[in-house]
């Protein structure tokens, strides 16, 4: 839905390129002509008559009545996200996990079965292993680099296949078209968490996926100063279920100010992603040629066993990579402690380069055997390449490696 009055109502964003869409899609018409629309910092909306109020409250999703359901600042962001992901609509949430759980619980119900990729963000892992069973929803997992594992897991009550591509933190890709082909044969929905790729690099809906999920906290917000999440789809009924079901009733609503910051970040996503893609590739190639590094995982490396899939479904490899320092966990710790420019922190997609040890930080809540089955080694270092000059990042990595 959109109740926004647009600045350029006749602009067809379908014929425009990415950088033009991110700037112009969904731009609201302001009553005073403000180029940048105000932040609608309001919890409720007034009506001129009881008839108007009845009309608005008759369909909360198609009106502005209360900001737990719709707000012009959210709507503005949703228009841009839908345009960039080539979807018919979007629903934004307070965080990526709000969007993940909002989408899962909008689809799945007691008695359903779902299939999840093994490699995924730890919060999503916790939802699947700890929370779905509480609601009587069963699941199985598969190695997303091996699609032959999917069909034997399908049951008559399977409703969903859920993937992340590239996955956090292993960078393993799912062949999205391949997953969709299997799912469609059995009438199963496909959800893709596209946080690592971003819509600049991959558009899962164009590859046949039903739902795209984002943590806006990462590349889309882009500056490490907000939390946000989004669900994007061509299925308007599903989006209504998200808005009037999980958003409205679970209440994981993005604040208008955070929606404003996410929209501001989104307007520069293209220029930032070009730089992230180029810098991360340069750093991955440098690491790949270094004898002190055991393994580098980056989609666009020619040595990547999934390079063909990367070229087919990605425009660039993203700013994320992961690697193991020779010498394992202890060598990895020493390496990180000697970094001077790169910062030790969880999260990703920010202006500064962030590194973390996945097994000890973001993925520590996952039992070791599940981590290992997902390919997460104890020494794995995840790097979110920032917007610094890549030569300075490489120099920092080099001086830290020299101390091991």
Ligand X SMILES: Cc1ncc(COP(=O)(O)O)c(C=O)c1O
Q: Which is nearer to ligand X, 65 or 160 (CB)?
A: 160
Q: Using the rule CB under 6 A, is 95 a contact of ligand X?
A: yes
Pairing between strand 381-384 and 354-357?
antiparallel
CB atoms within 10 A of CB 118: 21
Q: Which residues pair with 44 in a beta bridge?
A: 66
Q: Of 27, 112, 164, 241, which lies in the binding site for ligand X, with binding defined by CB under 6 A?
A: 164
Of 218, 315, 371, 382, the catalytic one is 218
DSSP letters of 190-204? EEEE-TTTHHHH--G
Q: Of 69, 91, 97, 106, which lies in the binding site for ligand X, with binding defined by CB under 6 A?
A: 97
Q: Using the rule CB under 6 A, is 233 a contact of ligand X?
A: no
Total of chain residues touching ligand X, rule CB under 6 A: 15
Name the minimum Å distance from CB 339 to ligand X.
21
**C-beta separation of 276 from 219 below 8 A:** yes
Q: Of 74, 128, 195, 252, which lies in the binding site for ligand X, with binding defined by CB under 6 A?
A: 195
Q: Of 215, 246, 318, 353, which lies in the binding site for ligand X, with binding defined by CB under 6 A?
A: 215
Name the minimum Å distance from CB 95 to ligand X.
3
For Cα atoms 271, 14, 90, give the angle at the middle one, nearest 5 degrees.
80
Angle 256-266/72-84 helices, nearest 10 degrees? 30
Name the minimum Å distance from CB 310 to ligand X.
17
Residue 170's nearest CA partner among 294, 324, 390 is 324
Q: Which is nearer to ligand X, 65 or 230 (CB)?
A: 230
Q: Using the rule CB under 6 A, is 165 a contact of ligand X?
A: no
Q: Of 89, 123, 379, 386, which lies in the binding site for ligand X, with binding defined by CB under 6 A?
A: 123
Pairing between strand 158-164 and 189-193?
parallel
- 75 assigned to active site: no
- 292 assigned to active site: no
Q: Using the rule CB under 6 A, is 396 a contact of ligand X?
A: no
- For residue 159, give the H/E element and its range: strand 158-164
Q: Using the rule CB under 6 A, is 96 a contact of ligand X?
A: yes
Name the minimum Å distance from CB 121 to ligand X.
4
Of 68, 282, 292, 333, the catalytic one is 68
Q: Which residues pair with 161 in a beta bridge?
A: 115, 190
- For residue 81, give the H/E element and its range: helix 72-84
- 403 assigned to active site: no
Nearest-CB residue to ligand X? 96
Name the minimum Å distance from CB 260 to ligand X.
17
Q: Of 87, 229, 265, 319, which lies in the binding site for ligand X, with binding defined by CB under 6 A?
A: 229
Q: Using the rule CB under 6 A, is 202 a contact of ligand X?
A: no
Name the minimum Å distance from CB 226 to ligand X.
9
Report d(CA 198, CA 193) in Å as an integer.
Answer: 9
- 189 assigned to active site: no
Angle 390-402/269-288 helices, nearest 10 degrees? 30
Stretch that binds ligand X, among 61-69, 191-199, 274-282, 309-317 (CB under 6 A): 191-199
Pairing between strand 113-117 and 229-233?
unpaired
Of 75, 193, 210, 350, the catalytic one is 193
Q: Which is nearer to ligand X, 91 or 97 (CB)?
A: 97
Q: Using the rule CB under 6 A, is 168 a contact of ligand X?
A: yes
CA distances from 223 to 95, 179, 268, 378, 399 (A): 15, 33, 11, 29, 27
Q: Cα-Cα-Cα-Cα dihedral of 337, 341, 342, 348, to 10°?
A: 150
Q: Using the rule CB under 6 A, is 217 a contact of ligand X?
A: yes
Q: Of 78, 112, 175, 193, which lies in the binding site for ligand X, with binding defined by CB under 6 A?
A: 193
Name the minimum Å distance from CB 276 to ligand X.
15
**Which residues contact residue 352 at a Cβ distance below 8 angstroms, ignoring those fewer than 6 apart?**
224, 343, 386, 387, 388
Q: Which is nearer to ligand X, 79 or 195 (CB)?
A: 195
Residue 315's nearest CA partner among 342, 264, 278 is 278
Task: Please identify every residue annotated as catalytic.
Answer: 68, 121, 193, 218
Contact positions vs ligand X (CB under 6 A): 95-97, 100, 121, 123, 164, 168, 193, 195-196, 215, 217, 227, 229
């Amino acid at each position: 839905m959109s109740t926004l009055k647009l600045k350029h109502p006749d602009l067809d964003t379908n014929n425009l390129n990415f950088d033009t869409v991110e700037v112009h899609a969904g731009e609201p018409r302001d009553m005073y002509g403000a180029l940048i629309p105000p932040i609608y910092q309001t919890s409720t909306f007034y009506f001129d008559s009881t008839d108007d109020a009845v009309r608005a409250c008759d369909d909360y999703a198609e009106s502005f009545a209360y900001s737990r359901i719709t707000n012009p600042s959210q709507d503005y962001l949703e228009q841009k996200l839908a345009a960039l992901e080539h979807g018919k609509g979007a629903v934004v949430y307070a965080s990526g996990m709000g969007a993940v759980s909002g989408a899962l619980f909008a689809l799945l119900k007691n008695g359903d079965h779902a299939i999840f990729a093994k490699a995924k963000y730890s919060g999503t892992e916790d939802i699947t292993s700890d929370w779905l069973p509480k609601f009587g929803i069963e699941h199985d997992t598969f190695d997303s680099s091996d699609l032959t594992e999917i069909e034997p897991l399908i049951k008559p009550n399977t409703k969903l296949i859920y993937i992340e591509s590239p996955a956090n933190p292993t960078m393993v890709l799912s062949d999205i078209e391949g997953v969709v082909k299997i799912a469609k044969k059995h009438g199963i929905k496909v959800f893709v968490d596209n946080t690592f790729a971003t819509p600049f690099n991959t558009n899962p809906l164009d590859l046949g996926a039903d739902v795209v999920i984002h943590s806006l906290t990462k590349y889309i917000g882009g500056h490490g100063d907000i939390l946000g999440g989004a669900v994007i789809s061509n299925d308007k009924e599903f989006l209504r279920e998200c808005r009037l079901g999980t958003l409205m009733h679970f209440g994981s609503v993005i604040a208008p100010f955070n929606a404003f910051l996410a929209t501001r970040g989104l307007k520069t996503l293209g220029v930032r992603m070009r730089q992230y893609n180029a810098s991360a590739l340069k750093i991955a190639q440098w690491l790949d040629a270094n004898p002190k590094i055991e393994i580098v995982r980056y989609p666009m490396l020619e040595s990547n066993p999934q390079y063909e899939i990367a070229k087919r479904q990605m425009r660039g490899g993203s700013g994320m990579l992961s690697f193991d320092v020779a010498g394992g966990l202890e060598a990895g710790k020493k390496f990180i402690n000697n970094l001077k420019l790169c910062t030790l922190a969880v999260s990703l997609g920010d202006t500064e380069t962030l590194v973390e040890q996945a097994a000890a930080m973001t993925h520590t809540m996952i039992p070791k055997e599940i981590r290992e089955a997902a390919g997460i080694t104890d020494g794995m270092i995840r790097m979110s390449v920032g917007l610094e000059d890549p030569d300075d990042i490489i120099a920092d990595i080099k001086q830290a490696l020299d101390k091991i």
